[in-house]
Homo-oligomer: A and B are copies of this chain.
Amino acid sequence: MVLATPQRYKSHMLPVSPLVSAMLVPVPPLPSDGDARLDRAGTHSRKMQGRSGEYEGKDVVPLWVADMCLSAPQPIVDAMVARAQHGVYGYTDCPAALTTAMLTHLEGYYGCQQPAATWFRWLPGLLPGLNHAVRACCTPGSGDAVAVATPIYPPFLDTAANCGAALVRVPLTEARVGDSALRHSIAWEALEAALAAPSTKVLLWCNPHNPTGRSWSRDDLVRLGRLCVAHGVTLLSDEVWGEMPLSEEAAFTSCLSLLAPEAGEAPPEAVAGLRERLIVLTSPSKTYNVASLDLALALVPHAPLLARFRAVGRDAAELTPFGYIAALTAYSHAECAAWRRRLLTYLRANRDHALAVLGALPGVRATCPEASYLLWLDLTDALPDGVISGGGTAYEHLLSHGVALSDGSTFGASAGHVRLNFACTRETLDRGLQRVQTALAAAE
């Protein structure tokens, strides 16, 4: 990688171009009053300083790592402060009130009928859960395989190697819509072939999807669930973005809402047999910006599968009291719900603004995410000649102009792809977009 140096960051010295300012989508109020004054300097933030500290002391607009340059809601901050003040930071287990709040939330928001606390496995993050699912389903070195739909959040791609399994990649269909839009859909034929292979034991699914922002429809999920059941494949559904819908018309559907009840009448869209092979992961980490507090929840309705999932995860770290308390506050405090509505309004406007700006740049193609704060861009036709053909990546080229996005090639996509995180103030977003614009206009 070409490491950016301060000398090369010229774009921030330019005035905001007429292009950007003409595209402005009105800016809603920030979700918290303090967000305008927020400063992450000195917090050892990976997003701000780079994975190896390479952005420190440099002028980089960070639009990469999936956390927000916005404060968590005030009730969570207050709860964190109160817990910190206690002074004893010993081993902590799940508050009973969190179990209760979570069950209510699963019924009300996830559309899960009769959720049970016996399904719960609290984990110190989503990433351990992905790996435990693979370990629970695959015997190392046996040829057992993990299927994933690419592009995908990079740790999905690592799980197979981590666990001695094979990896089967099924690319999503990336359609170009008009001049500037991308829309992803499931390549059903390829996916079914992958699931039908006897070696495939588990499908790692992401809904809503990181990085494309697709919220898979109920029809898609029913079809997917039935395929998994038909071919004896465990379905891991990572639903961490489920509470961040940006589009009215593409509501979030949880795989938990497809379960046939153990007793009583099944809803028409229930997937018979899914209960025996479903693992759902969720967390307040993205929605409430508490990713570093190390808390996620795996929901495994089938007791024998949960027992296997637990048994292979005994090496996981402890949960932290801060994680439990943040989750309890997020799911039980009315102001957190109100804050989430303000947040989604703010993010939706940022999305629309970014799409308007980017859509006017020749050759740029972008998804319109239905959920999350992530844009997925194909810059292949927008980059200056020589960037890709010279062995570079869109990510490196943008970084050399002072804006850090996530490198699409780490998601299993081409070097022309990047992921843009728009969860920041409009001011920061505009600074970043300005640099993207300058980078694309530059001669290589």
A25-59 interface bits toward B, Cβ cutoff 8 Å, 1 = contact, 0 = none: 00000001010001010011111010101000000
With a 10 A CB-CB cut-off, give which of A46, A65, A124, A127 has the most chain B CB atoms: A124
- Closest-by-CB residue of B relative to A129 is B315
Known: A291-B318, A318-B291. Is A72-B45 also a contact (CB below 8 A)?
no
User: In the complex, which residues of chain B have a beta carbon less than 8 angstroms from the beta carbon of A80?
Assistant: 84-85, 89
Q: Is A5 an interface residue (CB 8 A)?
A: no
How far apart sit A318 and B124, CA to CA, in the bound complex (Å)? Answer: 8
Q: Is A443 an interface residue (CB 8 A)?
A: no
* Closest-CB distance, A212 to chain B (whole angstroms): 21
- Judge whether A96 and B53 touch: CB under 8 Å: yes
How far apart sit A183 and B284, CA to CA, in the bound complex (Å)? Answer: 49
* Closest-CB distance, A165 to chain B (whole angstroms): 12
User: In the complex, which residues of chain B have a beta carbon less than 8 angstroms from the beta carbon of A324?
Assistant: 44
* Closest-CB distance, A330 to chain B (whole angstroms): 12
How far apart sit A320 and B315, CA to CA, in the bound complex (Å)? Answer: 17
- Closest-by-CB residue of B relative to A93 is B46
Q: Is A322 an interface residue (CB 8 A)?
A: yes
Q: Is A70 an interface residue (CB 8 A)?
A: yes
- Judge whether A317 and B47 touch: CB under 8 Å: no
- Closest-by-CB residue of B relative to A66 is B91
- Closest-by-CB residue of B relative to A86 is B43
Contact of A93 among B44, B86, B88, B132 (CB under 8 A): B44
Known: A84-B80, A128-B317. Is A47-B289 also a contact (CB below 8 A)?
no
Contact of A47 among B90, B125, B159, B326 (CB under 8 A): B90
- Judge whether A87 and B77 touch: CB under 8 Å: yes
Q: Is A321 an interface residue (CB 8 A)?
A: yes
Q: Is A15 an interface residue (CB 8 A)?
A: no
How far apart sit A241 and B320, CA to CA, in the bound complex (Å)? Answer: 21
How far apart sit A91 and B46, CA to CA, in the bound complex (Å)? Answer: 6
- Judge whether A92 and B46 touch: CB under 8 Å: yes
- Judge whether A85 and B90 touch: CB under 8 Å: no
Q: Is A247 an interface residue (CB 8 A)?
A: no
Known: A72-B87, A77-B85. Is A43-B92 also a contact (CB below 8 A)?
yes
User: In the complex, which residues of chain B have a beta carbon less than 8 angstroms from the beta carbon of A68?
Assistant: 88, 90
- Interchain Cβ contacts under 8 Å between A and B, 7 examples: A32-B87, A45-B92, A71-B87, A81-B84, A89-B290, A124-B294, A292-B321
**List of 3 A-B pairs having minimum Cβ-Cβ separation, nearest first:** A67-B90, A131-B315, A71-B87
